[in-house]
Chains A and B, each alone.
Chain A
């Protein structure tokens, strides 16, 4: 960057194009996979294309982020760009909030309107005519049309695995903050220890969540296809789990970078962005715990 110039403009890069193409291949592959699955085709073309797309995505992330890290470490980035990154990440998290808001909105609508209406309560209780035997409960264990949608035997007890998971995630947010303070104070070995604990807690959360899903599918007959309780339960917790997975990948990347000696006490945007993301998934979990599991 020349001295009279205050702005940094990144040079042309192939990575955006690689990203767009990989996104296209991944999603088209996933579409093909689902298309074949539902149509009963044996073709593996979807899996192949999906896999290829994921490889492309991985290549893109390594390449693009690697390039950005290289430029950042090379001192090319101005303070202004750092602010742009921060604002960009904040707005990205806001968009994620709205994504979850859509599913929480659905849960709200189902519990307050559609299920009570189907059992004859409320302003549109006339819907009871469809299935006169149906009576509303929540969790909904018997669906309006039990022939079409099977009945879950029970739902997940909030006071076992979910409570442990709540404890794990809240603790991980605390340890991550401690890691941040340690990084800012320049205590790098302490940072590494706290980061390792955070990651361990995150991965344990994921393992328990997988265990809970297996339990639900194998023993409780609580599945995606056993009515709206299962639909909302698995979509909300599933997308949360997917976000925890992304968060874990981010934390792992940051951890490796700390091990390699990246970041300084006052410049560590990747750490902060990952931490914001992690706190965001933590808050979403608290909402889930309250609204999906407990009440």
Chain B
């Protein structure tokens, strides 16, 4: 058998990569698996992005223009699911795979085969999820939050396959998170105590904990949906003593930590990039760590702020309002620390730094609209309007996605051994930056004026703003082609990069040669 041959060929020494397709299919290498994760997430970004194109094309003008409302519903649902589970989360796992072993001085992840399994589940899961679009009755059309009874009693028959796709994604995330957490706990180089770890590792440690804690809850809630649909259980049916609102409670118990899962690794990236290009140590390292831990703990007790209008007891509304506003404190600590790091630093503005500053500024805007939404009495007005859409896109696009871009540009020289084209990369940043603000900023206005989300049509008075939003969205989407071009150009004819391409960069990953060797640290380095 081929594996036998590989055994003999490889022995137990660490060699370069295997030849041919099995290098990727059978990989146990954190860099190869990380690369697969990143490429997968880029493909998903374009698929999810093309769905956003469809949505914005339909909303370009009032009235039903291009697609049926039913298909519009499927597009908004799949756009959300693909961006959350297909683009953002795999990109972070890809970054974790590439960087954590290099940052803590390990040769690889702690459980390399499990690592490969958690990647290879993803293509299967998304094949299953996207195949539902071609089934009778169409794909999921109930929004990415799949509230019961829309997703149970009134769901298209394909919902069963959607449920199992979610199960697969959950399994993948749990395995990936176990791997990350075990790697960080057990593979740190001698001398690297927890409080000497780079911030990116800290944020991923907490993220992995959140993933292990809430992904099983997501599996539980979709299982209850499955039982309600096929075995007539009464979990989300008041006629049998259950409650549709119960779905929302369980879902958001997963869902709120999930949004921190999608932002904490970006916090980590930005905490690496800003000190480098400010040529200063990160300001308030310890307070940063405690802030992340506080955010993670709070994320378990704020979930019902997504449900202020469903009819909760008054005490519940108060409780969730206050806990939610508490989150502003640790988040504020982080933002002040980033700004203090830049304060009086010798700053330069290479592309990773531009993305990081863009992150700090725009994420703050998203955070502030978050505080507005956290106020239960006024949320009665904001609920389900475009204001909410503006809010979470401001935290996710310049939050999660800009963090990922910052990371890719920052570490690309170390990964590939080549420098990217700084001019083109800056163009990518500026077009993205303008495009995304053009897309999401006017959404605040139409939202406050009362335009509801998830509806394919709107009254005439919203027409101008929606046209601007659509133009911005096309601009933002198209600008990602520049990113792909930069990547291809880097790989094909990038200038060779130095071992330390950034003057102020610190950390074990920069002590490795460029490009980084196949197995990062075969023997552990010593950390002072």
Q: Taking beta carbons and an 8 Å cutoff, which residues of A are in contact with B?
A: 1-2, 4-17, 19-21, 23-24, 27-28, 30-31, 34-35, 37-39, 64, 76, 80-81, 83-85, 87-88, 91-92, 94-96, 98-99, 101-103, 105-106, 109-110, 113-115, 117-118, 122-124, 127, 130-131, 140, 143-145, 148-149, 224-232, 234-235
Residues from chain A with a CB closer than 8 A to the CB of B2 are 14
Would you call B241 and A106 a contact (CB within 8 A)?
no
Given A23-B124, A110-B242, A231-B242, answer yes or no on A12-B164 (Cβ-Cβ < 8 Å).
no
Would you call B164 and A114 a contact (CB within 8 A)?
no
Would you call A106 and B161 a contact (CB within 8 A)?
no
Q: Give B191-248 interface residues, CB cut-off 8 Å to A.
A: 212-217, 219-221, 223-224, 226-227, 229-235, 237-243, 245-246
Q: Which of A10, A20, A114, A124 sits near B313, CB closer than 8 Å?
A: A124
14 A-B pairs with CB atoms under 8 Å apart are A7-B187, A12-B28, A13-B116, A16-B26, A23-B124, A27-B168, A87-B182, A87-B186, A95-B178, A102-B221, A105-B253, A109-B246, A225-B234, A231-B233
Would you call B185 and A228 a contact (CB within 8 A)?
no
Which of the candidate stretches B106-114, B337-345, B365-373, B409-417 sits at the interface with the other chain?
B106-114
Which of the candidate stretches B78-86, B351-359, B518-526 sits at the interface with the other chain?
B518-526
- Say yes or no: is B120 at the interface (Cβ < 8 Å to chain A): yes
Would you call A9 and B217 a contact (CB within 8 A)?
no
**A21: shortest Cβ distance to chain B, in Å?**
7
Would you call A231 and B235 a contact (CB within 8 A)?
yes
Given A23-B121, A88-B178, A106-B246, answer yes or no on A227-B116 (Cβ-Cβ < 8 Å).
no
CA distance A5 to B240 in the complex (A): 62
Total inter-chain residue pairs, C-beta < 8 Å:
257
- Say yes or no: is B68 at the interface (Cβ < 8 Å to chain A): no
Residues from chain A with a CB closer than 8 A to the CB of B7 are 11
| Interface pairs A-B: 10 shortest CB-CB | A145-B239, A102-B220, A123-B313, A228-B241, A225-B232, A99-B216, A24-B124, A16-B117, A231-B233, A20-B120
Would you call B240 and A144 a contact (CB within 8 A)?
yes
Q: Which of B14, B28, B117, B232 sits near A224, CB closer than 8 Å?
A: B232
A interface footprint on B107-150 (CB within 8 Å = 1, 0 otherwise): 11011111011001100110110000000000000000000000
Residues from chain A with a CB closer than 8 A to the CB of B288 are none
Would you call B216 and A106 a contact (CB within 8 A)?
no
Q: Which residue of B lies closest to A104 (CB)?
A: B220
Residue in A11, A13, A102 with the greatest tally of chain B CB atoms within 10 Å:
A11
Would you call B523 and A5 a contact (CB within 8 A)?
yes
**B460: shortest Cβ distance to chain A, in Å?**
38
Known: A27-B128, A81-B110, A144-B241. 10 other contacts (CB 8 A): A9-B28, A9-B112, A12-B28, A85-B111, A95-B216, A106-B235, A148-B240, A227-B234, A231-B234, A235-B224
Q: Which residue of A lies closest to B123 (CB)?
A: A20
Q: Which residue of B lies closest to A89 (CB)?
A: B178
- Say yes or no: is B331 at the interface (Cβ < 8 Å to chain A): no
Given A20-B117, A124-B313, A231-B235, answer yes or no on A76-B12 (Cβ-Cβ < 8 Å).
yes
CA distance A24 to B186 in the complex (A): 31
**A13: shortest Cβ distance to chain B, in Å?**
5
Q: Which residue of A lies closest to B107 (CB)?
A: A7
Would you call A84 and B10 a contact (CB within 8 A)?
no
Would you call B246 and A31 a contact (CB within 8 A)?
no
- Say yes or no: is B385 at the interface (Cβ < 8 Å to chain A): no
Would you call B124 and A13 a contact (CB within 8 A)?
no
Residues from chain A with a CB closer than 8 A to the CB of B157 are 35, 38-39
**B166: shortest Cβ distance to chain A, in Å?**
10
Q: Which of B120, B164, B185, B519 sits near A27, CB closer than 8 Å?
A: B164
**B207: shortest Cβ distance to chain A, in Å?**
13
Residues from chain A with a CB closer than 8 A to the CB of B106 are 7
Would you call A12 and B230 a contact (CB within 8 A)?
no
CA distance A265 to B3 in the complex (A): 32
Give chain A's interface secondary structure class.
helix
CA distance A69 to B13 in the complex (A): 20
- Say yes or no: is B527 at the interface (Cβ < 8 Å to chain A): no
A interface footprint on B233-271 (CB within 8 Å = 1, 0 otherwise): 111011111110110011001000000000000000000
**A254: shortest Cβ distance to chain B, in Å?**
20
B: contact size bracket = 35 or more
Given A88-B114, A106-B235, answer yes or no on A14-B240 (Cβ-Cβ < 8 Å).
no
Would you call B240 and A12 a contact (CB within 8 A)?
no
Q: Which residue of B lies closest to A227 (CB)?
A: B240
Would you call B125 and A24 a contact (CB within 8 A)?
yes
Given A91-B212, A225-B231, A225-B232, answer yes or no on A10-B113 (Cβ-Cβ < 8 Å).
yes
- Say yes or no: is B25 at the interface (Cβ < 8 Å to chain A): yes
Would you call A34 and B241 a contact (CB within 8 A)?
no
Q: Which of B224, B231, B524 sits near A106, CB closer than 8 Å?
A: B224
Q: Which residue of B lies closest to A30 (CB)?
A: B164
Would you call B227 and A235 a contact (CB within 8 A)?
yes
Would you call B128 and A24 a contact (CB within 8 A)?
yes
Would you call A143 and B186 a contact (CB within 8 A)?
no
- Say yes or no: is B181 at the interface (Cβ < 8 Å to chain A): yes
Residues from chain A with a CB closer than 8 A to the CB of B418 are none
- Say yes or no: is B16 at the interface (Cβ < 8 Å to chain A): no
**B310: shortest Cβ distance to chain A, in Å?**
10
Q: Which residue of B lies closest to A76 (CB)?
A: B12
Residues from chain B with a CB closer than 8 A to the CB of A123 are 313-315
**B233: shortest Cβ distance to chain A, in Å?**
4
Q: Which residue of B lies closest to A19 (CB)?
A: B117
Would you call A4 and B523 a contact (CB within 8 A)?
yes
Given A10-B28, A17-B120, answer yes or no on A225-B10 (Cβ-Cβ < 8 Å).
no
Would you call A38 and B229 a contact (CB within 8 A)?
yes
**A116: shortest Cβ distance to chain B, in Å?**
10
Residues from chain B with a CB closer than 8 A to the CB of A230 are 233-234
**A241: shortest Cβ distance to chain B, in Å?**
15
Residues from chain A with a CB closer than 8 A to the CB of B239 are 131, 143-145, 148-149
Would you call A37 and B230 a contact (CB within 8 A)?
yes
Would you call A12 and B26 a contact (CB within 8 A)?
yes
Given A4-B523, A96-B216, A102-B220, answer yes or no on A31-B238 (Cβ-Cβ < 8 Å).
no
Would you call A102 and B250 a contact (CB within 8 A)?
yes
Q: Which residue of A lies closest to B315 (CB)?
A: A123
Q: Which residue of B lies closest to A138 (CB)?
A: B241
Residue in B178, B233, B241 with the greatest tally of chain A CB atoms within 10 Å:
B241
Would you call A92 and B241 a contact (CB within 8 A)?
no
CA distance A130 to B238 in the complex (A): 9
Residue in B121, B227, B239 with the greatest tally of chain A CB atoms within 10 Å:
B239
- Say yes or no: is B400 at the interface (Cβ < 8 Å to chain A): no
- Say yes or no: is B505 at the interface (Cβ < 8 Å to chain A): no
- Say yes or no: is B22 at the interface (Cβ < 8 Å to chain A): yes
CA distance A17 to B114 in the complex (A): 10
- Say yes or no: is B516 at the interface (Cβ < 8 Å to chain A): no
Q: Which of A5, A39, A91, A124 sits near B522, CB closer than 8 Å?
A: A5
Would you call B14 and A122 a contact (CB within 8 A)?
no
